[in-house]
Structure 1
Amino acid sequence: MESLQNKRAIALERIVWWSVQMSLLAGIYIMYVQGNGTKVFMGLLTVAVLVVIALVQRRFDYPLPAIFASIVYIFVFFSVVIGTFGGGYRIDHFDDFLHVFSGIWIGYASWIILRRLLRNGGAANLPNSFIALYMLSFSLAAAAVWELLEFAGDKLFSFTAQGRDPDDTMIDMIMGLIGGLITVVVILTLRNKGKINEAVDKE
């Protein structure tokens, strides 16, 4: 039977999803009026991705924990609505904040993947050092893949995700790694206090 806490998490996910979608559509309209076709295209791609996530969640009985999905939607809001449509990237360190944020939810994703690969409870037998190394490696690899996607988007679709200074790419990866480290600290702290099973089971 679905727990009350899980029902509330799912309800929150739906509210966040609709809020982000509405803000995306409003931003797309504004970009269209301003004649910015590149940002309109980027916005439509983002809307399509969120629709696919929602369909997968409904069709397969929420394979992604509702709290995790909500975090991803909030990240999309900050990165696309505030950053791309609202000019947030002109704010000092806004991009750094986003990469730390992305490192946090990617680190969380790595933990979810690990637990699902070891469905028989094997994660409980893994040492903290291995979990930390795994999550940090996952976060760094994901940060590198993200930079590759930004590079591809800039070259293929004339996006402006990457700066011309190569330091920008390295700093972005470092910020992502810091975000992953934050998640490692939180997960291992909960684990050492014996609260990690309860926290995961209620997702």
Structure 2
Amino acid sequence: MFIKKKINWEKTTFWFVFATLVLSTGFSLVNVITAPSKPVLGEEFVKLRSDYVLMLIQCIMGMIIMFLPSIIERKWRINIPGFMHIVFVFFLYAAIYLGEVRSFYYKIPHWDTVLHTFSGAMIGALGFSIVKLLNDSEKVQINLSPLFVAAFAFSFALAIGALWEIYEFAFDKLLGLNMQKFAHEDGSPMVGRAALADTMKDLIVDSLGALATSITGFISLKFKKGWLEKFEVTRSRKVSM
């Protein structure tokens, strides 16, 4: 009798995105070697070596970060929900492969804005989960109000967003990249307020995404709605021998 196996979407999504980043890493590495370092006068716009260096760094960092949830689960003995893991992996796919490799940041209007808004909301949900984990801990005896939890989640998301902008600025400065998108796709730099606008827009939409999650989480905790349960990190149960 033929038994149809249920697809493990968490593992399928993980390895699909990982394979995509591996192939993109190889593609980027080849072009780092072959692409011109400076624009050639009289020729149509082509990506430069620095563009592929950025692509290569993003792909390598993405592959490393993909294993972060499983490392955290083993080290701190916690369970990260499958839904949250899938959302995290798809976010990396949208940001790195679609955004950098397929140039969606330039081809699709507001692609970066959508991702930053989503990341603010996602990190805000993670902030809620961290506080709930502490509330449920036997070692840490605390009982925080829904308003304080919402404020922490909002502040946590803002802090991560600010650290991300610092990371992008540092790599742009050290390696001559364009992570903060202070230059157009053809390499021509933005000037004045236009150069600042992208970073400020990222921080603003991070805040809006985090605020939306914080308000949702506050209502959920206050009235016991359970709206963020799919994002809740829980402690692993010890298996008795």
CA contact (8 A) 2:216 2:227 kept: no
Q: Which residue does 1:19 correspond to in 2?
A: 16
Q: Which residue does 1:160 correspond to in 2?
A: 178
The answer to whether residue 226 in structure 2 is matched with residue 196 in structure 1 is yes
Q: Which of 1 and 2 has greater Rg? A: 2
Report deviation, 1:169.
1.2
Report deviation, 1:158.
2.9
CA contact (8 A) 1:103 1:178 kept: yes
Q: Which residue does 2:166 correspond to in 1?
A: 148
Stretch of structure 1 that moved more, 111-120 or 49-58: 49-58
Of 93, 116, 119, 2:110 maps to 93
After superposition, give the CA deviation of every residue in 1:54-83 in whole Å (9 maximum; x if it has no partner): 344467655433322222111111100000
Structure 2 unmatched ranges of 5 or more: 1-5, 33-51, 183-194, 235-241
Report deviation, 1:51.
3.1
More helix by share: 1
Of 78, 102, 125, 2:119 maps to 102
Distance in 1 (alpha carbons) for counterparts of 2:109 and 2:228: 39
Change (3 A) 1:66 1:60: farther
Identity in percent? 25
Q: Which residue does 2:25 correspond to in 1?
A: 28
Report deviation, 1:105.
1.1
The answer to whether residue 61 in structure 2 is matched with residue 45 in structure 1 is yes
Secondary structure of the residue aligned to 1:196 is: coil
Change (3 A) 1:135 1:56: closer
- Whichever residue aligns with residue 27 of structure 1, its letter is S
CA contact (8 A) 1:132 1:184 kept: yes
TM-score between the two structures when normalised by the length of structure 2 = 0.69
After superposition, give the CA deviation of every residue in 1:175-200 in whole Å (9 maximum; x if it has no partner): 10111112123323333442329936
Q: Which residue does 2:37 correspond to in 1?
A: none
Distance in 1 (alpha carbons) for counterparts of 2:93 and 2:209: 18
CA contact (8 A) 2:78 2:233 kept: no
CA contact (8 A) 1:96 1:172 kept: yes
Stretch of structure 1 that moved more, 122-131 or 12-21: 122-131
CA RMSD of aligned residues (A): 3.1
CA contact (8 A) 1:115 1:123 kept: no
TM-score between the two structures when normalised by the length of structure 1 = 0.80
Structure 1 unmatched ranges of 5 or more: 1-7
